[in-house]
Amino acid sequence: MYFKRSAIVFYLFFYATCKAQDAALVKNGGIFVIRLQDQYLEIDPLNGGRITALNMGTKNFLTDSAVNAFNWGSTFWPSPQSDWNWPPPKEWDNQPYLAKAKNNELKMTGRRDPKTGLAVTKLFSANKLKNNYNLKYVISNQSDSVRKVAAWEVTRVHPGGFSFFPLGKGDKRGGLISSTMDRDGICWYTYNHDSIPSKGDTQLYTDGSEGWFAQVNGDIILVKSFPDVPPGASAPREGEVELYANKEIPGKSYVEIEHQGAYISIMPKHSSTWNMKWYLRKLPENIDPVPGNPELVEYVRNLLK
């Protein structure tokens, strides 16, 4: 499949094509790539506008379909899940989006979900001055009734690293609590195959604060920045920050780092916009990439200033 070799082929091609620029949006076949210095974001409009790769060099920070044929890369869903159970609306998750590129921004327009009457537009670009990706999700209510919904970004990463984020108010819920560690207001989660419940809930739900969520794999860190959600404003039975750990055989496991916007009402023929930023960095050599290290927290906070 193309995504198995895309990490090398696309990077070499786009580096040669765009080496004179700090940021560029280019297309190869049906795939769009947003290049930013020594990294790139790969998007497939025909697969739900899914982010299929986030690379620094030739290493994909995200999982691909070789790990799981359905749950891979980064996607976007409506929340709460109780409104649709499983699977997620295919119009949001995996059906083709209409793609248009203009001024180094990729705009992708999805189809209307017939059950909820909601449609999604995704706008992705890069900020070469701050060296980050800008991700904008627009939820449009194309029904004749008021709809309540929260934005929900679901990003799948490899299980060998760890996650951390500032805790908000309220308790943690879910089967992954035993795998977390709270220290100085920061929640740390490390994937441990043996500690994942064999049955039932394998998630974590909680309120966050400061509006960021970080994932470390090796010496690379991904920081996702988003508007902080006030306590009590999340969708029913959901959380502002969520984690899911998949318990499969080695090589087939993954972790979902998830966050949600506020649960809001959208009037008919109106829309709501959710903005966020992604920062991909190689950690300085003097910062030890281990859970609980306060220097990691300081690094993220300085990055987002």
CATH of the domain at 103: 2.70.98.10
Range of the domain at 199: 2-303
- What type of residue is 257? I
* Euclidean distance between CA atoms 178 and 187, whole angstroms: 12
Q: What total of structural domains would you count in the chain?
A: 1
Smallest Cα–Cα separation from 191: which of 205, 176, 201, 206?
176
Residue 241 token pair: 């920050």
Q: What is the pLDDT of residue 279?
A: 98
Q: What is the pLDDT of residue 21?
A: 55
Ordered per-residue pLDDT tens for the chain, 305 residues: 444 444 444 444 444 444 445 789 999 899 999 999 999 999 999 999 999 999 998 889 999 999 999 999 999 999 999 999 999 999 999 999 999 999 999 999 999 999 999 999 999 999 999 999 999 999 999 999 999 999 999 999 999 999 999 999 989 999 999 999 999 999 999 999 999 998 889 999 999 999 999 999 999 999 999 999 999 999 999 999 999 999 888 889 999 999 999 999 999 999 999 999 999 999 999 999 999 999 999 999 999 99
> Model's pTM, two decimal places?
0.92
Q: What is the pLDDT of residue 157?
A: 98
